[in-house]
Structures are given as C-alpha cells and as structure tokens.
Structure 1
Amino acid sequence: MDWSLRFLGVGNASAVELGSPMSVIERDGRPWLTIDCGGEGLTAFKAHYGHMPQALFVTHVHLDHVAGFERLFVDTFFSAQRRGKVRLYVPATVVPLLHKRIGDYPNVLAEGGANFWDAFQLIVVGDAFWHEGVRLEVFPVRHHWPETAYGLRLQGALTWSGDTRPIPEMLARYASDNELIAHDCGLHGNPSHTGVDDLEREYSAELQARMMLYHYASVADGQALAARGHRVAQPGQCVVLAAPTAPHVLAQDPP
C-alpha cells in the first residue's frame, strides 16, 4: 500500500495564484483524507481527481481554509449517493466556529426544507479519530486564539502543522516518528504565522530537514525560502510518504 501527500494549494490568503492552503493524503493514488476546503483548493481537487472530496479534516475556519464549503454543500446535497455520507472531521472547539462561519444561514436553499448539515456526516473529534480503520491524532497550534486551530498527525507518515507560529513543544510529541512535516512558513513572520527566521531559530536542524514549507506569500518568496536551503512545496506537487505506523484495524465497509 502506497501513501502520498498532494499539495493542492500552498499560498497564504493573499497569494491566489498559489492556491489556498489545502492538501490530500492519498492511498494507492486515490484521495483518502483531504485537509481543509479552500476555494482555490477545491477547484484544484476537482480538476485533478474529477470529483469532489469524500472525507475532510478541518484545521480552522479562516475563509482561505473553508470557503469551498458552499460549493461542496451543493454538490453533496443534490447527490443521492453522497448526501449525508461526506465525512467532516472537525475538532470539538472548532465546530461552533464552523457553524457560525458556513452553516448558520437562513434557508440554505431558497425554497427551504434543508439544513446545511444534512449534506454531511459531521464527526466531532478530540485528541484523535479513526478514518477507514487508521488512527490520526489532533493537536492544538498557535494561530490567533487558543483552541481555534489544530494540526494533524498520521503517525510515521505525516505531521501537518496547519496555520501556526512555531510549535516545538508540539512537534517534540507529534513529529517524533520521522514524519514528513508540512509547516506553515513565510519569508516574514507575524503574530499568526511562522516566518523563516522563526523557523530556523525555534527548530533543530533535524526537524527542519524533514519539513516542507507552505503558506508563503508569492512565487518570489518561495524561491527565497528555497535559496536558504529549505524544501518548499509547490501547487500540485505530490510527495511520497512513509508507511504509517499509526494504530490501525481492518477497515469496515462504509455505510
């Protein structure tokens, strides 16, 4: 069984040409779990795979990460095969924020008779959750406000930082099994995001060597990050992952 990570978009909220920061964990070349649902990212997903996501994890609710949900609702609600079966894994403290941001709109259909969440199977998660028989871990990150943004770990394969300032204490625990680390990093830091100076100051050389940087501001900034010796993710790039060491059971057939 082969695992990989496909970067659908790698830019920050202003870098439309780089796509919204969104990725897909693939298993045997097929989408297994999608991380976030930005507008440009959802377009890239449909263009590459020919269909919409079937399972998503939401890191936080800034619009560059959730703006695709209106389109996903329409695609899912009006499909007899998909309605109520598209899985959304959402950290418990993010659920009310997500509802306020995308779900709480009077008459999601003009004619009434539907609720936003009718389209999805909402799975509220805490420190960990199971997807198709594999256990993934969830951890808080430093982005704007406590308990509003989270990262994701597929043990032994991938640690996804989400939008964050440096989190060395979290990576000591959630990137301890030689995972590829996809990390938020721009050329310049700010109170919500990691800059390259922050990255180089806060993380060991060993951790930096396992990182791929995304959420940067422009093509030129990406080139500048690469010139400093860092691996920089590109839109559409697919990276081979190690086989997960995460606990797993035989996957059950979907309902």
Structure 2
Amino acid sequence: MNGVHRFGCVGRDNPTAPRGFSKHRSIDSSFPFIPSPLSRSGSRRSPSPTPSSLYRNQSRKSNDSNGFMAAPLSRNASRRSSTPIMFSNSMGMVKPPPIEKKLECTLEELCFGCTKKIKITRDVITDSGEIIQEEELLTIKVKPGWKKGTKITFEGMGNEVPGAYPADIAFVIAEKRHPMFRREGDDLELAIEIPLVKALTGCDISVPLLGGERISLTTDNIIHPGEERIMPGQGMPTKLQGKRGDLKLLFLVQFPKELTDEQRSDVLSILEDSA
C-alpha cells in the first residue's frame, strides 16, 4: 500500500455494445440532388430527406453498458459551410466505429451519483445539402456504484458525412485518484497511521468516511503493523438495492526515529517482562 502520510487518515491510489445501426440501415433508392447557388434561406429544399436527415430525424437515444439511458439536451446551429454536398446512396450506407471519450468522475460522484453535462460540436448535413456545425449539450446521469470502464453511448451523435451514418459517441467512465481512499470493486481501502505508543496501549481513532462523516473506532488491543480491520457497509454501493461494500482499514505503525539510553533501558525492561 502506498501514499501514506501523517497520523490519521491518509490516501491511497485507485456494457457495451453500441446499439449498432439505426433501424433505417439502408435506403433502396438514390437521392440525386442539384443544389441551388442561393443562400440557405432562398434555396429549395429537397422533396425527400437525405439519408443523413432521415437518420437524424429518428428519435435519438443513448444507452450505457448497464442499460441506463441518456439523451442530448439541446442543439444550437453555428458555423455553416458555403458548399452544398451532393451524394448518392447507391453504394449503400456504412457506419463508422464509435468515437470514445473519457469521462472522469470522483469517488464521491461514483458513490452517490451525479449529473454530467457535456457540450460537443458536430458537423450536420441539412436538407439542402449544406454542412453546418451544431452544438449539442449531452447529459449523463451517473448512477451510484458505477465503476471505471462503464460506457454510455449516444447513438448517431458523431459528425454527419455523405454516404455514411453518423458514428456513435461513447463516454467511458474513468475514476479520478482520491487523496485518501482507494477503490477495490465494491470495497474502499483506507490507510491509518498511528504512533507506536498508541498501537501498544490502545486508542480511539476517528475514521473519515467517503461522504465526509466520521465514525469512532475504539481499540484496546495491540495493533500490529499491517493489521487490517473491516468496517462493514461503509464501501461503495453494490448492484443489490440498498447494499454497500466494506471499508478496509490498514494500520501503519509509526516507530520513533531514535531513543535515548534511558528510553532504551525502559523499553527493554518493559518488553522483557511482557515476554
């Protein structure tokens, strides 16, 4: 165990398949299009939606590997390309691999849950064939107990390009290093440093919990270096409703750096008697 400092509590280190293609995976007919040189406001719209807009007009859903749902909040169109796009679907539509992005969360956020809002900018093909950039505000509801590697997928939220479906965007949960706790599955680990005299004579220890509370631990027995003690139900939420993992305490005993001759003599006599 590493990263231990001072008396008290010290820190330590710590599904998914995209849903695949939209149900409109292919379109049998081609969509020839002759763009107008006029601006968007004066151009004529195609009588039939382009494959990209067909896909875009479907209800957009996102999912994560555990079956949780997320969805974009809002959209704001911005910069626009001045060159209309002509394309045909005669060769069939394809879908690029998902675009993965890291989403960092603290242990507290993964323990108690939170809401994350992420702004993205993406290329979108309009019905008139122009490419514009839109801002999307995505929302992710992090559920208590999620682990690193949990994936949340927003279907079709990548850039739109001619002849292809937009890629999915997948956010992968990453766990930020905590200054005190280390996560192991559903359990939390915490290192406690105590001076030798307290390890030998017993003491009351104020143990911090992840939520900011403290709980008192009283020990009358000798605490050995490296000894572990378990505090049930003080870890991370589990898949079982209302259940939590354990908090494991690892005791690190602080030895004095030096002793005087008199102190050595006293310690020797005490330890000889105890033996």
- The structure with more helix, counted as a fraction of residues: 1
TM-score tier after normalising by the smaller chain length: under 0.3
Which structure: larger Rg? 2
Q: Which has the higher contact order (CA 8 A, sep 6+)?
A: 2
What TM-score do you get using the length of structure 2 for normalisation?
Answer: 0.22
Normalized against structure 1, the TM-score is what?
0.23
**Bigger proportion of residues as strand:** 2
